[in-house]
Structures are given as structure tokens and as C-alpha cells.
Structure 1
């Protein structure tokens, strides 16, 4: 699985380049059922496993507006990449997507 280049942003974390993307249109779950925002990250240099980050935030385009949307910032993505690498994500190796829940220390 590869990340779509259109709409993705680049970021450099500890000297390595990555691309990250937030889905522009919400899925049905995100729009109608209060599903959480998902961020996808992959290495910009080599094809490999994609990091799929589940955030505790709602998608900004969701119908249920009980919670205020929180923007995904480059600093948040950089902290998540570092935490995922420490948890065992290997972006240069082929394999299934690496699921990761956004840790609290990245949120603060």
C-alpha cells in the first residue's frame, strides 16, 4: 500500500524524509458515526510499510460536531513518527500497514 502523492506533505524527522496525508473527505464512519481522524505516513525515500495513525480527534468534516476539530500539525506528525519508530515501525521494509494510536505525550 502506498500513499497518494497528491495532497501529501513532506516532513524531515531526524534527517529522514517522510510524506504524510490526512484524508480530505471523511469516510462514512468518520462523517456519521463519530469515527476518529486517521493520518497516514510513509518514507519519502523508499517504498515500505505505511504508518496508519489513529488520533483521538474527530474528522473536521464530520457531521457530528460535538467536539471541536484539532488540526494535525507537522510537530505532531514528527513526534508520532519518532514514537512509532521506537515502537517498531520500519518504514523502509515492505510489509503490512503499521497501526499506531497517537500517544498522549505527542498531544501535549
Structure 2
């Protein structure tokens, strides 16, 4: 299991009433990694990989969270990071 995110340098986002914290991972291979965890009870982190060329925005992070939850991510559980690969050039409304 990965370490909890440091509060400094993370951004907050609320999705469906749950608060999350997220940061773009410093290691950018094989793309850009977005690391997300529940803000109030961090447990299982989600790492979403997106290809270079995507703009990392709150909308994209929200989309990653919703897709991860739909695929079984349980943010309050314990265990290894939940890894998600987002489609290339994901755009709002697509």
C-alpha cells in the first residue's frame, strides 16, 4: 500500500458528497499519474494514468474518480493502489 498523500501540495475536490485530495505524480512515465485518496479517511489510493497531452483539470480528476468507483475502487479500504488507465485525449462530454 502506498503512503498517504501529504496535505501540502494537494488539491481538494468533492465528488458526490465525498471529499478527495489529489496531486499529479512527480514520476511521469508512462504518462501523467494522478494520485487520489479520500480526504477524510485515506485508505486505498487510486492512481489514474493519462497520456501526455491531456490537460489535468478538476473535470479530468472527477472523471477518473467516477470511472475508478464504477470499476470497484473502494477509497476507504486497505490494500495496494488501484490503478486506472484513462483513454487517450479524454475530453469533456465524450
Where do residues 89-104 of structure 1 align in structure 2 (5 Å cutoff)? 89-103=73-87
1:13-36 Cα distance to aligned partner (Å, 9 max, x none): 01100000013xx44xx4xxx631
The answer on 1:85 being equivalent to 2:69 is: yes
Where do residues 12-51 of structure 1 align in structure 2 (5 Å cutoff)? 12-23=14-25, 26-27=26-27, 30=28, 35-51=30-46
Tell me the CA shift for residue 4 of structure 1: 1.8
Q: Which runs of 5+ in 2 are unaligned?
A: none
TM-score normalised by L of structure 1: 0.74
Structure (1 or 2) with the greater helix fraction: 1
Count of equivalent residues: 89
Q: Which runs of 5+ in 1 are unaligned?
A: 58-68
- Report the structure number with the largest CA radius of gyration: 1
Aligned alpha-carbon RMSD (Å):
1.8
